[in-house]
Every structure is written in C-alpha cells, then in structure tokens.
Structure 1
Amino acid sequence: MDTVELGRTGLRISRLGLGLASIGGMFAAVPESEAVATIDRAWELGVRLFDTAPVYGYGLSEQRAGLALRGRPREEFVLCSKVGRLIEPGGPDTQPIWAEPPAGLGPRLDYSYSAVIRSLEDSLGRLGIDHLDILHIHDPDLDFATASTEALRALQELRMRGTIRAISLGVNHADVAARFLREVGPAGPDCILLAGRYTLLDRSGAEELLPLCRSLGVAVLAAGVFQGGVLADASDGAPHGYGTVPAALAARIRALRELADRYDVPLLAAALQFPLGDPAIPAVVVGARSAAEVSELVALLEHEIPERFWAAYRDAF
C-alpha cells in the first residue's frame, strides 16, 4: 500500500489506517485471537497506521494492539492513541456500546495536565510500547477550556521530549476543531482525526475546517466514513447509533445507492475513497473486527471509480 506524508509531522502513513475501537468490543465482543488476527491481516496488506484509545473497551483495545504490534519494527508503523479519559476503578463516565468492558473499570473525563501525563503512561503500559507517534485530545468539546490549555500544554511538552511525534485532536464536530485551531494558534495541533464530518453524507467539515487546515498545513485523518455504519446497513436497530433511521437520512442513502448502482460502483468504495479527494486528507481510518473485513476494506480502497460517478455525485448532492 502506498504511504504518504502526514502534513508537517514528518511521519509517513498508509492511505488506509485501521481504527481499533471494534477490536475493543464496540457493539459486539471480539475474541482476543480474532482481534490480533485482524491487525495481523492489516499488516500483511500494507496498513501501517493504527488508531486506538483508552476508552475503547476501557483499555482492551490498547492491550490487544500491543499484543499484535509490539514485536514489529517500531519505525515501520504509526501508532495513535488519545487522552481525556482515565481508565480507573469505578470510573463513572461509562458508555453502553462496549460489549466486554473489564470488570470494575470505567472511564473518568479529565483533561488536566496531570491526568494527560498519567493517561499516556497508562496507555504505554497497556500497549507495552515505549512511545506513541500521534496523541489525540479526545472529544475536547467536553471540557474545551481545560483541553485547550492544560491538555495542550502537556502534549506540547511530550512532543518536545520526543515521547510523542505529533499533537492531534480526535473530534466528531468540525466546528470544535476549527475553534481549537483558531484559538491556540500555530503551537496547536499538527493533525486532526475528524469523524463523520467529511463523508458522502455529511460534508460540514468542508465549510470551515478543511480550508483552515489547508492554510495552516494541518493534516486531517478522515474517520467515520461509513457514518457510524449506516451506509453499510441502514436498517432500523442495526449498530449505527440510530434506533430508527430518520426518514430524510434514509432517503438520502437510497439516492446514494441508486447513483452507485447506476455506475456499478460499490457504495462503500465510494464512501471510503471520497475524503481522499481533498488535499488536506492523506488517509482514512476505518475500523474492522475480523481479518476478512480488513481484506474487504483494502479491496474497496483499491476499487477503481470512474470520474463520471464523482461528477454525477457532485451534481446530485
């Protein structure tokens, strides 16, 4: 798989990154052997960008990432994790989406300087790896004042020491990332992980954030390209965050499917490749819970999509 420069970070990444929430048990339990096999298959196919977080399975994702990655040449892959939540006994900020959280443990939101340092130390311990390449401030909108001051200061010091290579934000809201960039200036993030806001269904990231990133030289990793899974399965009750898919959204998805069928394009291939059309976005990050799913993702990334499909998409949407 081709590798590309990640903005000004000095890091080279594969065009496809593997998000590791799924192997932490998001929506459904994943056996440890299958989790490791998923990462192994990604490695075989050339994936060299891996993104995890303490909150993914309350440490489980990081532990499994470490099992699969720590025997590999460290200079050959880029590893990302996040700060903003400490995993500790009785942590109160739990989420119902994790199928197999460790007994008695939970996350606690904390963007303070000391919590960020502790969070990184805990992550490195779970991973069994001595440094991270990218560290995201996770969901800074939950405590923007502290995230943009104390958490950022901690990451700046960690970057200066060489414990991390790049500072990032992990966000679901493009306006939050744009505000962060505007307020903290050039000493802020080197890159941004943007989930669900530059996709076939939602291009709100293009309104302010992507132009701002292009002007500042801040690279964007596009995540959530299947819109929480609703592009893969729009049926009510599927694990995509909707109990019932809103009628307007369902109609938009049907129209996208009809367009893709007209040009014989797999809809998920279009969804995966769409963000890469913006010069600020060198890679997409997508989750998988099995080796077979990883193989499917790589095939979707490599599927040739005719320009006439993109022209028709721009005209229709």
Structure 2
Amino acid sequence: MSKPRRPKRAVDGILLLDKPPGITSNAALMEVRRLFQADKAGHTGSLDPMATGMLPICLGNATKLSGQLLASDKAYRATICLGARTDSGDADGTVIESASVPAHDAAQVIAMLDASCGPQTQIPPMVSALKHEGKRLYALAREGVEIARAPRDIVIHQLKLVDWQPMQWVIDVQCSKGTYIRVLAEDLAQKLGTLAHLTALRRQWVTPFRGTQYALSQLQAIASDGGHVALDACLLPLSSALVQWPKVVVTGPQAAQLRAGQPIAVQDSATSDACMAQREVAVLDGEGVAISLAVWRDDGLLWPKRWLLRDEKP
C-alpha cells in the first residue's frame, strides 16, 4: 500500500542552497521542496552533477522571479586539469583524447586570462540540459548522437588565476548567464596548445545573492529539530532578488489598482525619471514588501506586469 502524500503548504521565499556533488540540480530541488512541503518550487539555473555551490531555490510565489534570476551574472571557482579531454568536459566523463602540455608559467596564464575577458560567443556542449526538438542534449549524447549547436553570446567579466601548477590551474570566473565553464576550460587550454577538462567546479555566487548557503544536511537537521518554523527562517524574502532593480513604493489604493490590472501614475518625478530609464521596476508596499513587477509605458503610466503576492492575480 502506497504512503499517503504529505500535504503541501503555502511558503514563499528564496533559499540559497549549497548543492552537494554527485546529484543533479533537480534532485536537490526536489529534496528541498520535500523538506519545506512547498506547493511550488523551482531553481534558477542548473549546476552539473559534479559541481557544488550556490543554487538559489525559489519556493511558492518566488518562482515568479525565476526568469529574472536565470539572467543573472554568476561567479565560479574552477579547477582545470591540463592534457586530457573527456566526453563530458569534466571528471565525470571518460577521457577521449590526450595531449602534451607546452611549458608555460603563471605569468603566461595570467596574460591569457586577461586577454580572454569580454563579450564573445561560445558553442554549448553536447552534454548539457539544452533541448533539441524536445529532447535534452545530454540524452542525445548518451545515444551517440551529435547535432550542430548555434553559438551563443556571453560575456566573461573577469578571470583570475588562484593557483598555478604545470598540469593544473585553479581560476575564478565572473560571467554572464549561459556561460559553460567546461567549454571555457577547453578553450583556454586550446590557446595554450593542449587539452583540458574540469576536475572541480564551485559556484560562489549568483547576482544579487552573497548570503549564507545551506547544505542539504543542514536543512535536514533543521527540519528534524525545529520543523517548518525553523526552516522558514532560512528563506530570503522576494525583495532580496530585486535589490538591483529600480523601485517604486506605492500606497494601498495604488496597490489595489495594480492588483486589478490597472496602471497608476507616480507623482514623484525624481523616482519616475530614474525608473523610466530602465522601464521595468519592482513595486513595494509601505513596509518594503515586493508586491508586483511593473513596466513604464510611453504614456508615462506604470502598468502591472506580474503580481507577486499569494492572493489572486489581477
């Protein structure tokens, strides 16, 4: 006889999970959702099974912000092993090609890293969660199928050499969304005239988050000792995801208008001028709670885009 399903509950917020190695991002997400008994949950950008580090988990109405967080800049620490390429680009794969490593020193690597920053294109790897005709690329790769992948625009904001050894580099990377660090490692090695794969990868932060990360083992202990009250204390409010957005504070009647799908006029000219330059804004109530995303239109009014509270959408 199957066990009865645990009841779901309304819980809204963002958890900064420290994903452990050896599991998929979706498996980590499902364990967090189970612990919180959340009615809705989603993450904001996959980490490879081998990778560790920050995986923001959106619960409840915070899932409405997942799209914004997917577009955020990210930072990683990567350990690159030189002289061998694997079929996955990391240590979880099988070595498929080896090459000698040219003599070089740390100064050469630093110069190469500096020259590798800026806007560029990158071809996604076959072993990735991208889809082709509804099927994940990694599933096609397992079947021995390889398809052409269109290059994507990315930006490498910063590359820093943390540790240098003749056969291994440790680098810090700050980059835009959609950047594959496995591919970056292979591209850097190619510039040196050799091959490479990742042996470790840790995501250090995701814009705008720099806060405390919780391991699954910590969350399991917190749930055991303190239940949902203690777990919920680990969550960040929705407004934490919007700290870099221009903001408009509205009155109760204005909030009611937005909730009803109606535009509002903002009388503070300094606020409206600053916000109109970026078009999309976060709308807060008088207590600083994020209640809506909104957009300025050419008519000079602020129009609701997405209602963020638990009550019904307009």
Q: Which is strand-richer, 1 or 2?
A: 2
Q: Which has the larger radius of gyration?
A: 2
Normalised TM-score (structure 2): 0.27
TM-score, length-normalised on structure 1?
0.27
| Structure showing the higher helix proportion among its residues | 1
